[in-house]
Amino acid sequence: MFKPCPLRVLVAAGNPLAMFSLRAQLSTLGYLVVAEAADGREAVSLARQLCPDVVVMDIELPNMDGLEASRHIDQEGLCPVVLLSECSKVEWVQEACSLSAVQAYLVKPVHERDLEPAIELALARFQQIERLERKAGQLRDSMDARSTLTPATEYQVTNGNRLPQEAQEWIQQEASLDKAA
């Protein structure tokens, strides 16, 4: 797939051979590997610093596992994550599903034919979530703005759109002064 501006990918794998293999696959697919992390803490730190388009991360990482690192990336809304694992443990899959940043879960060995669609779909879904969150924020702001009008609107509904007695008297008084002048 031709990519006019290559996607920037952060790779996190605890095994140097797995890291080399992922880097080679991503480069072959036309992605730009901007950094490599050997553990989960480093992956989170690099994601904050570099703002990659996507993180491809092994679940089994030293210091902080890939699920915990994904949780931090998710909480900060940094970027989508594609998780890789030796197996599909039910608990891992369920936890991955609970994180909006995790947009794909691949079981190793990972092949280019699986990696590319997972990355593209992860990025597209993450962007959709961002758009929906922005729209929800706009709707909340709109509702907040409408709630500031509620007392006036409530008065109009309650009083049939009539002015308070004092205001009517003031208008009549002003009108009579205008006639006298």
What does R_g of the chain's alpha carbons equal in angstroms?
28
DSSP structure class, residue 99: -
- What pLDDT shows up at residue 143? 77
Per-residue pLDDT of the chain (181 residues; tens, 9 = 90+): 455 689 999 999 999 999 999 999 999 999 999 999 999 999 999 999 999 999 999 999 999 999 999 999 999 999 999 999 988 777 877 877 777 778 899 999 999 999 999 999 999 999 998 899 898 888 888 877 766 555 555 555 555 555 566 666 666 776 677 666 6
- Cα separation, 47 vs 13, whole angstroms: 14
- What pLDDT shows up at residue 122? 94
Q: Report how far apart, in Å, the C-alpha atoms of 167 and of each of 11, 157, 158 are.
A: 69, 17, 17
60 domain-assigned = yes
- What pLDDT shows up at residue 15? 94
Say yes or no: 132 and 158 in one domain: no
- What pLDDT shows up at residue 181? 62
Say yes or no: 103 and 166 in one domain: no
Indicate the helix (H) or strand (E) that contains 92: helix 90-97
pTM over 0.95: no
Say yes or no: 110 and 153 in one domain: no
Domain count, the chain: 2
Q: Which domain holds residue 163?
A: 149-180
118-122's contacts with Cβ under 8 Å and 24+ in sequence apart are: 118/82, 119/7, 119/9, 119/29, 119/31, 119/54, 119/56, 119/82, 120/1, 122/54, 122/80, 122/81, 122/82
